[in-house]
Amino acid sequence: MDDILALIGRVHQGDKEARDILAEKNMGLVHSIAKRFQNRGVEMEDLIQIGSIGLLKAIDKFDLSYNVKFSTYAVPMITGEIKRYLRDDGMMKVSRSLKETAAKAYAARERLLQKKNREPDMEELATEVGISREELVMALESGAQIESLQKTIYESDGSDISLEDKLPQEKSQQEEVLNKMFLEEILGDLSAKERELIYLRFFQEKTQAYIGEKMGLSQVQVSRMEKKILGRLREKL
């Protein structure tokens, strides 16, 4: 860990050799992540090259004050670079029907919010749209954009300001952001109930007490479920 941080410090001082060494040390990480995207119509060699771009971005942008391991920071950068390539290449498009359902759900939410003067629960929203609760959760997931550290939030005179530039430095807040980024990776493995919890907790940013009331669970049960899901998430690092 200390030698990695030392190399990063040298990189930030303009040491190109340190940058090359650091990239070489972490190529195993790139290979590991690239394997997840095999059999999608893109050669493994190309995936590794794209992932390497993400690795270099992570090296250049990593802040020693982040209080997280470099690998923890680099994984979403590498994954995001590959996903953007696949998405832009038309490999990871959300179906039109899901997008349409998500749009209907957001419109229904606004109607119910005005009518009831409170946030509608999932059952009410599903009934209003005329679909099952599980279908609603899937549609909302498809329409929800998970923020990445590299998402541009302001552009001016060719200079981009990304979300990571605005991140607070406290460790707990850093970890919360990283957890959000990885949710997309595991959503497909979750049960309908787990997906509902994740949607409420991370996309609508509801409290565990609120979620427990909506889902008929105690706050302790919600906390345990959340920890279990995030534990599975961290295993992917």
Domains for the chain: give ranges and CATH numbers. 1-93 (1.20.120.1810), 96-143 (1.10.10.10), 169-237 (1.10.10)
Average pLDDT for residues 182-204, to the nearest whole number? 71
pLDDT in tens, 155-184: 444 444 444 444 444 444 444 544 455 445
From the list 209, 229, 228, the residue with the least C-alpha distance to 219 is 209
pLDDT at 139 over 80: no
Q: Which residue has the tokens 């200079």?
A: 159
More confident site: 89 or 230: 230
Least confident of 9-13, 93-97, 226-230: 93-97
Distance CA 136, CA 128 (A): 11
Q: How much is the pLDDT for 146? A: 37
Region of 117 (left: φ > 0; alpha: ψ -120 to 50; beta: rest) is left
Distance CA 234, CA 237 (A): 5
Q: How much is the pLDDT for 21? A: 92
Q: What is the value of pTM for the model shown?
A: 0.42
Q: How much is the pLDDT for 166? A: 46
